[in-house]
Structure 1
């Protein structure tokens, strides 16, 4: 009865909310699981509502983000502490202070549109309104309640966060190399705690009319950190007649990054394209801070970077480092390939440095109502950082694009200028000006490839990406001819990519057991959480045959492990049927060591979607790996038949899924080596926001899950409510239209004037 009364009151409020929202502020309507639907009449008030709602759920996380980007972690938490993601405070502060005092962000703020600036301005006002009304001493999250480091935020704080997101796979990942770069002969710096972080990954599938029977569908499945501020927040943003978009964005950036409107849906995956290069400098003899370009000497710029660090006695003292840069970027160094010697130094150049245009880019994507509109939006702004785009629309067109910010390094330049061994970085000869980045006439920014040189594909059947290069976006229409810095061609695909292609093919011919061929929204959902494991499908039977025929392998009794695997269903599901999954994960890790011929059938470029395959149990290394796995479990005190529930959890909630290197689509990145159960951490990374949307002529039909919930506050009812849904493979039904929002049984309405 109480719920019925509350729902009725909420419904009565809908009419004034619709007629007056935005006249003097914003209306925040929250539906089940705490999802805010913000409605206003202009971008400033839209930001006001979103900033207020986000603060209600994640005030401490935003305050922590601001402490990071304003280079004050050492001041408040000490220089030797680390964030949950492994960032050393002193490294983080020196890195971000160098950016802040350079003015690169402020100089770039002439780029954003008035709408983007208004959105950010409103977001700041909304966050600060919540903070002022609630008071720091009364914040609901104990992690920052009463904390001196919580303060009102500013517009530059948000733009710094935007810049941080744009550089996530670029400069952000080189923090320790930037801060640790010192000329030879300089005093060694105090020990710096280096950054440790999983690279973002994702799965994306876009389906056209031939795969669905007429509509377009999109599956978005980003893989991000769970335990730090690189989390997603879900919401809807509406300005009647101007913008109506629903989906999720990263904390602190007031736009929908993955989502849909009424006619078009899209997702992103981390691109294989490299967005940074390194220049190897030839130094002037006797002067390690000067370098030669075309025989002419140039002096590096020495930057005095000072941050403040709290000492053990509570005092705060300045810490100063001298960092170096050239016009291309900061000097970087590490103990391996990028050493700073008497003759050589290295400079990092990041194509996304000074790129605040991502806000306008995502606003333009949100306003696009068809695949052609979307492509034009990407071409017009060309500001996406480090991501592919996959989309579909209500006409049944499916779309893939890698139109983003990519350094203009042609294959000719790469062949002529690459120096040093191939270590996954493009390292160019910095002693020749002819080895610098070029520019295309159609490029929006200098130094990058224009959209015409970057791959895209429109299909009526399907496109997908699971973080490999664009080559097999659709195996029937391989993409080739793009620059190699975008990605390779004709090489082995990851097990996760191959499984994704299998999942699509098996659904299209109906061989997956989910019913008639072709995709529906329910079968798309079932495909996502099928938890298939490609390595188990390819080799579990052969490995069981091996251990059954050899009860003792390398002097180790393997009978119990063999019996466990013989009963395992070969998936990443949880419960009793998961016994064997964790053992298999560890075995696969060990069996893929160098020197073991793991695959029975090697990779064949003529059949890239189905090779390599099979596990080569004839290789003695496979038997040794099996025995080593049994021995490792025994040494760790972990039973070989441990359930996945007991080693893969989030705050006590069992989490299904498995690791990408095993050949899993629904990625959950729990370490594979066995260890005492009380030392196995909560899930640190993997499937985060999941969206399945069908674009019909009558509007979108959507299911979603934000696995870790809307709020990072453990006291919030929306902290892990969706994790419980995830356990049961249930979804949150999308509420997009006014009628759908009004019918939500848990609807609440809040006006922010």
Structure 2
């Protein structure tokens, strides 16, 4: 390993390779890459070919996250039960069978057989890099929970393609894989089904903020993007930061999900982009009505037979391996499900329809995005590939062009079926319940509920890109996980296909705050000459609460002079809480006193009321004034009856008392993350308060990894932990701001600052497991070095060249 020096690469261009697979395998037998690590362990990887730069990426990512990658490959190979036994509620057994039924291994094989040469080059190189690190370092130095584990083995390109099929299903099928694996007809021997206490996808989570600024609103007339995805802080849904350079062919900086090549969010020399989690539907549950037998079902005027397939897995039990067989069933819609509380009975069941099943396009999609030299090129790449699986996109370039789109792969319903579905969301209890968890429920017996075809669609039954919502502008665009129809403070989009998200519905407080920021009406905003990167950074980390700005003065006035309020039969004194809210700075900073009272006050109102009106707001939501409404505090009841506002304030005091938290505690003393044996205080808030900077103890996907927690979970507070994440002793953060980046351009090219908040390494013994969350705690973003001379000048820069082969 040597200190970094600036080096020059020959700027030659190699066109698209069209060699056949045999010539490819012979030519791509060896790899060489230079890896330069800079502050916080960021990996800058340079090589002469795509295969070699992916080799370096795989090698460097394995150094930071090999256990996570190996665990996920074990999962998609349906080998969890083989190494870890049945699992709680037979979770490993059901997962193993579920992935077999979803066919991810066959999907991976199809990609291996059919992907373009460049994609094969990338994936083969990545696998070789992972294997090279493993060969050099072994497993004896891994974290204790997986040290010397026999399930950590070399990976193949097929393993990686299988993993990427699972990534494509991150917003859909993977969330119900145990339901697929446990689904048995009513006349079959019962099996242990999945736990019923975890939502399919948590309401309004996972989230993100993405901002785009164009030439009309920036101080220098160039584009700027703020990336702020909210993803898990542990397990497989984490990002890893890197800079990839192949001279004349690729030069891109950003983050990728662990185990994946290329960059999924970031910037190159001319364009920056980010993603947010789409509020559209990537999958449907088709309600199945039984036919003449337990494995038949009605479809229109006919009765159809399900198809079955027998699967076998290995199960470790008391140190011995045995085989377990299970027959799983499929309708023409997709595999059957064992939905908690609803199940599969003689009265019917549910089948899965997944829009990303068979999406082989996403790797090529990201290679094209990484190479784009303008917003126009990036947009064209998305329109041509139609490969984005589950995200909105916000992009801007060095000329000041901005583009927003929800171009994620989406099922297409007929207009009539779409209207019926939207009506059912409002009127049918089961449809509404599943909709709250991002699942669209359709009648599987009605041919009219089938996904429909359209010219230009990437697959049958999917919406073609020309139908999906987008906005081109030179002002601002954003998304904060609400549906597409409000993409900027001053633009509204027309209705798109129904499953892109319901048009004209009330916005979340966080969406309203993001729009308020971009409109320049928040406490932190643009300079007199327009937005600068410093302005955007300050606005993102300002931690001001929109709902506090809108409501707190009226709440304080209502509660002033009220000595006590009765809550659940208890008399609660309000004076101290009122005084603390009066003096509160209306932010969720480390030293903010009163923030936790406001959080728990708001949490007494259901999500629908925070969005729409109800007993909190005086003026309900108005789609013609989407950002400004709801507004005003709901008036006190006539005649001095029960006041929901005062009751909510009293309940906030009781919740904090139950959690053994003093109501005058500064936020930073009770909101934290446990990392590497340290408790790091954190600013920010969750979905309740209406701020941009999200950190939270709740909101994750259901975990699909086996990594142990770093600290014992604190005791729950009944009826409230699921709302704000509060536990006895505080708010232990597990989710939220992950890749935080402000990406702009000047005359040299890209200029960016940011952090990978939870750190570059998954190993708690590494300094790069905790260093960036400490920087985030102090709001200290790091320069993201793109130019060679800046990388070489980094005070922590060290360089190593790694070589290897596919042999």
**After superposition, where does 1:310-389 map in structure 2 within 5 Å?**
310-311=316-317, 313-336=318-341, 338-389=342-393
Residue 288 (str. 1) matches residue 294 (str. 2)? yes
Residues 743, 582 of structure 1: alpha-carbon distance in 2 compared, 3 angstrom cutoff:
same
User: Residue 749 of structure 1 aligns to a residue in which SS?
Assistant: strand
Q: 1:658 aligns with which of 678, 685, 693?
A: 685
1:697 deviates by 4.2
Distance 1:553 1:258, change over 3 A: same
Rounded to whole Å, the distance in 1 between the matches of 2:189 and 2:388 is: 40
Q: Kindly state the Cα deviation for residue 574 of structure 1 after the two structures are TM-superposed.
A: 0.7
Which residue of structure 1 aligns with residue 696 of structure 2? 669
Tell me if structure 2 keeps the 8 A contact 1:414–1:428. no
Q: Secondary structure of 1:353's partner?
A: coil
Aligned match of 2:733? 683
Contact 2:228–2:737 under 8 Å retained in 1: yes
CA deviations 1:574-594 (Å, max 9, x no partner) are 12xx22222221121113488
> CA offset at residue 59 of structure 1?
1.5
| Residue 155 (structure 2) aligns with | 153
Shift of 1:562: 2.1
Classify 1:18/1:269 alpha carbon distance in 2 versus 1 (closer, same or farther; 3 Å): same
Instruction: Provide the residue aligned with 2:166 in structure 1.
Output: 164
Residue 237 in structure 1 maps to residue 251 in structure 2? no
Give the 3-state SS of the residue equivalent to 1:704 in structure 2. strand
Deviates more, 1:668-677 or 1:26-35: 668-677
Q: C-alpha distance in 1, partners of 2:74/2:272?
A: 34
Residues 1:725 and 1:298: Cα distance change in structure 2 (over 3 Å): same
Residue in structure 2 matched with residue 520 of structure 1 by the alignment: 532
Between the aligned partners of 1:228 and 1:402, the Cα distance in structure 2 is 27
Structure 2 residue 589 is matched with structure 1 residue 573: yes
1:127-146 matches, cutoff 5 A: 127-137=130-140, 139-146=141-148
- The residue aligned with 1:600 is 618
Could you say what secondary structure the match of 1:709 adopts? coil
Asked if 1 retains the 8 angstrom alpha-carbon contact of 2:525 and 2:531, the reply is: no
Q: Which of 218, 224, 228 is the matching residue for 1:212?
A: 218
8 Å CA contact 2:194–2:340 kept in 1: the answer is no
1:215 to partner: Cα distance: 0.5
| Cα distance change of structure 1 residues 245 and 352 upon mapping to structure 2, 3 Å threshold | same
Partner residue of 1:107 out of 90, 106, 110: 110
Structure 2 CA distance for aligned equivalents of residues 239 and 513 of structure 1? 38
> Which position in structure 2 is the counterpart of 1:533?
545
Please name the residue that 1:3 is paired with: none
Distance 2:608 2:509 in 1: 17
Q: 2:471 maps to which residue?
A: 457
**Offset at 1:210?**
0.7
* Residues 527 and 279 (structure 1), Cα distance of their counterparts in 2 relative to 1, 3 Å cut: same
Structure 1: distance between partners of 2:415 and 2:112: 33
Hey, what does 2:793 align to over in structure 1?
743
Cα distance in 1 between the residues matched to 2:606 and 2:495? 32
Contact 2:563–2:574, Cα closer than 8 Å, also in 1: yes
1:480-512: CA deviation from partner (whole Å, max 9, x where unpaired): 1311211222221110000001111126xx963
Q: Contact 1:552–1:558 (CA<8 Å) still a contact in 2?
A: yes
1: CA distance, partners of 2:692 / 2:307? 46
**For 2:623, what is the secondary structure of its paired residue?**
coil
**In the alignment, what sits opposite 1:175?**
177
The question of whether the paired residues in 2 share the 8 Å contact of 1:284 and 1:343 is answered with no
d(CA) in 1 for partners of 2:747 and 2:520? 27
Q: Which residue of 2 aligns with 1:263?
A: 270
Describe the SS at the equivalent of 1:725.
Answer: helix
For residues 594 and 742 of structure 1, the distance between their equivalents in structure 2, rounded to whole angstroms, comes to 52
Structure 2 matches for 1:111-126, cutoff 5 A?
111-126=114-129
Count of paired positions: 732
Distance 1:131 1:102 in 2: 23
Give the CA deviation at 1:513. Answer: 6.5
Q: Kindly state the Cα deviation for residue 514 of structure 1 after the two structures are TM-superposed.
A: 6.3
Q: How far apart in 2 are the matches of 1:431 and 1:276?
A: 17
Q: SS in structure 2 opposite 1:329?
A: coil
- Contact residue 290 and residue 297 of structure 2 kept, 8 A: yes
Q: How much has 1:140 moved relative to structure 2?
A: 4.1
Structure 2 match to 1:302: 308
* Deviation of 1:332 (Å): 1.5
Question: Is the 8 Å Cα contact of residues 556 and 630 (structure 1) preserved in structure 2?
Answer: yes
CA apart distance, 1:300 = 1.0
Conserved 8 A contact 1:288-1:343 = no
Change (3 A) 1:166 1:24: closer
Match of 1:626 in 2: 649
Q: Residue deviations 1:175-199, cap 9 Å, x none? A: 2332332222433212544666654
Deviations 1:286-343 (A, max 9, x none): x0211233333322122333333333x322333333321123311123244x542324
Task: Tell me which residue corresponds to 1:721.
Answer: 771
Change (3 A) 1:594 1:243: closer
| Counterpart selection for 1:730 from 772, 780, 804 | 780
Q: Quote the offset at 1:648 in angstroms.
A: 1.8
Q: Which runs of 5+ in 2 are unaligned?
A: 13-27, 638-642, 699-719
CA contact (8 A) 1:281 1:431 kept: yes
SS of corresponding position for 2:767: coil
Checking the alignment, whether the CA contact within 8 Å between 1:263 and 1:697 is kept in structure 2 is no
Q: Could you tell me how far apart the structure 2 residues matched to 1:273 and 1:14 are? A: 46
> 1 CA distance for matches of 2:61 and 2:329?
38
Aligned to 1:543: 555
Change (3 A) 1:102 1:473: same
The C-alpha deviation readout for 1:677-701, integer Å capped at 9, x for no partner, is: 6665631111111111113343000
1:443 counterpart SS class? coil
Quote the Cα distance in structure 2 between the aligned partners of 1:650 and 1:300: 48
Structure 2 counterpart of 1:429: 443
- The CA distance in 1 between the partners of 2:6 and 2:475, in whole Å, is 44
Counting only pairs closer than 5 Å after superposition, residues 633-652 of structure 1 correspond to structure 2 as 633-651=656-674, 652=679
Offset, 1:517? 5.2
2:496 aligns to what? 482
Which blocks of at least 5 consecutive residues in structure 1 are unaligned?
Answer: 1-5
Partner Cα distance (1:234, 1:472) in 2: 31
Bigger drift between 212-221 and 296-305 goes to: 296-305
Compared with structure 1, are the counterparts of its residues 661 and 91 closer, same or farther at alpha carbon in structure 2 (3 Å cutoff)? Answer: farther
The structure-2 alpha-carbon separation of the partners of 1:514 and 1:417, relative to structure 1 and needing over 3 Å to count, comes to closer
User: Are the equivalent residues in 2 in contact too, given 1:591–1:622 (CA < 8 A)?
Assistant: no
Structure 1 counterpart of 2:64, from 46, 57, 60: 57
**TM-score, normalised to structure 1's length?**
0.92
Tell which deviates more after alignment, 233-242 or 65-74: 65-74
Post-superposition shift, 1:18? 10
Question: Quick check: 1:709–1:723 contact (8 Å CA) kept in 2?
Answer: yes
Matched residue SS, 1:472? coil
**1:28–1:36 CA contact under 8 A, matched in 2:** yes
Q: Cα–Cα, structure 1 residues 16 and 264, in superposed 2: closer, same or farther, change >3 Å?
A: closer
The structural deviation recorded for 1:13 is 7.2
Equivalents in 2 of 1:320, 1:374: separation in Å?
A: 47
Change (3 A) 1:224 1:24: closer
Instruction: Give the TM-score taking structure 2 as reference length.
Output: 0.86
Aligned match of 2:21: none
Match of 2:456, SS? Answer: coil
